Amino acid sequence: METDKGYPRLFSGTLTRDDSRSCRRLKFFVPPGAREVMVKLSYNPRHEEEGKPLGVQEFRERWDREIARYREKAERAGDPTLLAYYERFVDEAIARIQPLSNLLNLAVFDSAGAFRGRWDSPQHFAEWASIGEVEATRGFVAGAIRPGEWTVILECHAVVTDACTYELEVQCVVSGGSWYRGELHAHTNHSDGTLSPDELVAAAAEAGLDFIAVTDHNTVSALSMLDALGRTCRTTPQASNGRPLVIPGMELTTFYGHAVAIGVSGFVPWHDASKDGGLSWQAAEVHRQGGILSIAHPFSIGYPVCAGCEWEYENTDLSVVDLMEVWSGPWSSRIIWNVLALRWWDEMLCRGHRVTGVAARDVHKREELFRRETADTYVWARSLSQAGIMEGLKAGRVFMSSGPVLDFSLRTGGCETRYLPGDHVQARRGDSLVFAVKLHPEGKCGANGLSIRDLSVRIVEGTRERGVRSLCTMPLDGGGYADFGDVVKGEAWYRCEVIGSSKRYLPGPNLVAASNPIYIELTPSVLPCQG
C-alpha cells in the first residue's frame, strides 16, 4: 500500500462575504489502482471573533439587507402586531445568535459523475473522511474507485467574516500488487483427469504456477481434499511450501456447452438447463455463491464427437458472463477453435460486453501443464488470494502468454499515469495516446524458445461503429520494447497482441501473447494530470 506520488494534494483559498451562497468546483485526478480516496477540510475562522459581539444598532446596520428582506414578509402579512413583534424579536435575538458562524461543506463526485458523499462541517471538521471500495466514513458512499477526474464541490453556505481561508486536502491510497500466473481449468481423478488432487497441485507447483483452479466435471468432491493443500490467503506461494494457491470450482458440462464456475465450492445444478435458457439461472447461482462464470472452449468440436463441448447457447445473455476462454490448449493445434474464439471475443467487446478473455489448458494430464504453445493466464492482483485473483479477473487486469511476460500500458494527454489492461480511461477527442509494450525477460520469449527478433507487436482497436481493426504492427527493439502514438477519435478499446513468425499453412496470427483491453471513455471536461 502506498500513497500516489501526486498526493497529498492541497487546495486553498480565501473567501469573502460575496462568496456566500456559491459553489466552487475543485478537480483532482484519481490514479488507476486506487482503493481509497480521502478528503479533509478546514477553514478559519469558524466564527466571528468571539468576545466582541456587535451592539444592536451595529448589528442592524451590518445585516440591514437581510433583516429588511425578512421584514418585507412580515409587512405583506398586513398585521401591525406581527410586524412589531418581529422588530422586538430581532433586538432580543441579536445577543443570542452571536457570534455568527461561517459554514462551508463539500460534496464528492467520482469520474463517472456518481455522488460519493457529503462532508458536513460539524461532523468531520479538520478530520479525514474516507471513501473506500468496501467501507466509507459516515455520510459517504463506498464502492468501486474509478480512475480519472473526480470533483469536489465546495459549498459556501455562509461567509460572515471579512475573510475566511480554507484548506482542502485530498489523498489517494493506491494498492500494491503484482502479476500472478495460473491455470483456470483443470481436472483431477474425481472426474476424468488422471491426477489425484494432491498430484495436480504438485504438478502445478513444478510448472511454477502461482494459482490453479480445480474445476472437475459436474462435481465438487475433490475440493474437500484440497482444503489442506493450498486454499489459503497469502502473499507468496512460498508461504505454503511452494504450493500454488488453489481456487475451488466446477465445470458445468451441459448438453449444449461447457462453462467453468470459478470460486464456488457448492454444486451448481445444471441437469434441467435448456438450450433456450442460455445458462442464465446457473450463472445467477454461481454469482450467488460469490463465483464467476467462464465460457469454456466455445468452438470445440461438439456433438456427437464430444457431446456438449461446443457452445450452442446462441441466445446467451452475455451480461451474466464474466470470462471466456479465448486461448484453449496449444495455439497452433487448436487454431480453428482459437481464431474463432478470438473473433467472437472482439465482437462481444465491440457490442459493449466487458467479458475478460483468458487462456485455459483444460488440464487432464500432467504433461499438459508443460506443453509448448499453451498459455498461462496472468492476473494483476493485490495479493495472491482467492479474493485478489477473482477481483483481477473480473476487472480484466489480465493477459495471456505462452512464454513472455507482457507489459502493455497506455498514457494519455501527456500525463505520466500508466493505464493497464482492464482500466477505463476518460479522455477527450483529439487527446494524444501513447501505447507502450515491453516483453520480459529481455532477449527471449521463454517457453517457446523464440527470440525477440522473431516477434512483432500488433495494437488492435475496437469500436461499436467501425468494429475491429489493426492500428499498427511493429517490431520490438533489442530490449523487447515498442511504442506507438495515436489520438482519441471516440470511445474505443485497445488490446495488444504479440505474434511470432507466421506459419503459412495456418489461418490467423501466430499468437504468443495477448492482453485484455484498455477502454477509452469520452468526457467533455478537461482532464489535468494531477487535478
Torsion of CA 474, 480, 481, 486, to 10 degrees: 30
**What does DSSP assign to residue 290?**
T
Mean pLDDT, range 129-148, rounded to an integer: 89
pLDDT average, residue stretch 220-235: 66
Residue 461: its pLDDT value, please? 97
Please state the rounded mean pLDDT for residues 141-157: 90
Are 372 and 330 in contact by the 8 Å Cβ rule? The answer is yes
Q: Are 454 and 445 in contact (CB under 8 A)?
A: yes
| Contact criterion met (CB below 8 Å) for 488 and 433 | yes
Percent of the chain with pLDDT over 70: 91
Return the closest-CA partner of residue 252 out of 213, 225, 283, 284: 283
pLDDT for res 67: 85
pLDDT digits (tens, 9 = 90+) for 435-456: 999 998 643 344 466 677 889 9
Kindly give the residue spans of alpha helices, DSSP state H, lying in 121-178. 121-124
Closest CA to 394 of 381, 383, 410: 381
pLDDT of residue 3: 31
Instruction: Please say whether the beta carbons of 394 and 356 come within 8 A.
Output: yes
Within 10 A of 494 (CB to CB), how many other CB atoms are there?
23
Q: How far apart are CA 375 and CA 373, in angstroms?
A: 6
Q: Which residue has the cell 501505447?
A: 435
Model pLDDT for residues 331-342, shown as the tens digit of each residue = 999 999 999 999
